[in-house]
Structure 1
């Protein structure tokens, strides 16, 4: 019989690594995937030693359109049934839309939009057959507020994940499968180092930031409750509520005024 595992994408650092830690602490076996093999293997060794769980590492680049099918096939070949799917892999592309070549945007869309949808499509049928499954798509508060200039596709991709998760949740509740869009705000991770915006982020007040551990524990509790959208933290939930009350044009002006201090929009 296949053993039940959680598949976590983008598991080599940040929120993805924290999902791996907390799931392992609960006794869940893991399948970890990311591009950085050495980091994956180091995390896997740590989790095996600390929690005594089975951890498989399947390094892959989700910008490759073949990667989702390969991950599904490799899990099946190894007899690893995926009970929890965490679509966490992601990054940001700085600058305005036309300042980057199309292939950069195409890769971004593949990683943040196409790959999560395909992984859901491939792993969901078995979850429905077993009568239980959990899918967490890591979106962002950015998908719920007006989008600033720069990082042009980022908020759009997160809004897509939120709506996708909401519909998928409604379609699969009757089968025992819970689907959640996890929507953190500013979170301590390597995200801004990778995008080269760490200096801009130093201007953000401390109360705007959350710890990755708090984001993950909140998301895991929310998916068990059957929520379809979870905004992490009271400050971020207050921002979401406030934005709903503002006229669109005013919201856009506020974002345009403040966003330029924290974004590279060249």
Structure 2
């Protein structure tokens, strides 16, 4: 049980975020739910209320001001965060072919800088109190480079590196940091990203349920694992993906620009 500790979850309105909320609520945590869609957050809060404290903060983490605004809202209500789940994310575009730089800048703010700032704002107090848990939701896509021009994989690789560094720095402090790396997971992520055709083309054995991913992530951070591959299949594949001998097999050849 959490003994009235509080968990903050970004991207809590759907998918892995809402599953993190359900499983942490079941462990007795009070919740701070953060996302853009207030109606979804309120529905989740109503579902999980059951005598616990649940705060809703609507925020768009692609805005540079959002993390500081979240911290200010917490301070105004006297809420201390003991468990941070950085889960908010989108698929992103193609760095060279999509010519709207603001789109890429917003993506990097959401996927990397917001995570970095929330860690900067919230972890020091965890360390002072001698207890904290941080899960940065990364991805198997961050474990191997691909010639697809996308920013998603590199952004997740950054979260892996960040989590490993923080885990080393915080060793012995009572604060544990884990980069959770799911593979293909049944959520609405692929529909939102326009990737339904890709999802249908892949065999079912490559996919895991959100409940399994979250349960494994919660267990991994408690065990002090700085990086954790969710799903037995991906834990088996990861050493192959990291091997210099087999790494080249995972690299697709480059492709010509769209205007050629």
Question: If the length of structure 2 is used for normalisation, what is the TM-score?
Answer: 0.93
2:252 aligned counterpart, secondary structure: helix
Report how far residue 54 of structure 1 moved. 1.0
1:175 aligned counterpart, secondary structure: coil
CA contact (8 A) 2:241 2:247 kept: no
CA contact (8 A) 1:34 1:61 kept: yes
Deviations 1:96-141 (CA, angstroms, capped at 9, x unpaired) = 5322411000000000000000000000111011001000000001
Match of 2:47 in 1: 46
What is the rounded CA distance, in whole Å, between the counterparts of 1:224 and 1:53 in structure 2? 22
Match of 1:109 in 2: 108
Q: Which among 190, 208, 213 is matched to residue 211 of structure 2? A: 213
CA contact (8 A) 2:5 2:81 kept: yes
Match of 1:35 in 2: 36
- Say which structure is richer in helix: 1
Report how far residue 61 of structure 1 moved. 0.2
CA contact (8 A) 2:95 2:151 kept: no
CA contact (8 A) 1:58 1:71 kept: yes
2:170 aligned counterpart, secondary structure: helix
RMSD of aligned Cα (Å) = 1.8
The answer to whether the aligner puts 1:70 opposite 2:69 as a matched pair is yes
Question: If the length of structure 1 is used for normalisation, what is the TM-score?
Answer: 0.91
What is the rounded CA distance, in whole Å, between the counterparts of 2:172 and 2:72 in structure 1? 27
Deviations 1:62-85 (CA, angstroms, capped at 9, x unpaired) = 011111011111111111110000
What is the rounded CA distance, in whole Å, between the counterparts of 1:218 and 1:64 in structure 2? 31
In structure 1, list runs of 5 or more residues that go unmatched: none
Alpha carbons of 1:208 and 1:189: their partners in 2 closer, same or farther (altered >3 Å)?
A: same
Q: How does 1:70-149 map to 2 (within 5 A)?
A: 70-95=69-94, 97-149=96-148
Match of 2:14 in 1: 13
In structure 2, list runs of 5 or more residues that go unmatched: none
CA contact (8 A) 1:4 1:80 kept: no
What is the rounded CA distance, in whole Å, between the counterparts of 2:226 and 2:99 in structure 1? 34
The count of aligned residue pairs is: 254
What is the rounded CA distance, in whole Å, between the counterparts of 1:209 and 1:100 in structure 2? 33
The answer to whether the aligner puts 1:256 opposite 2:255 as a matched pair is no
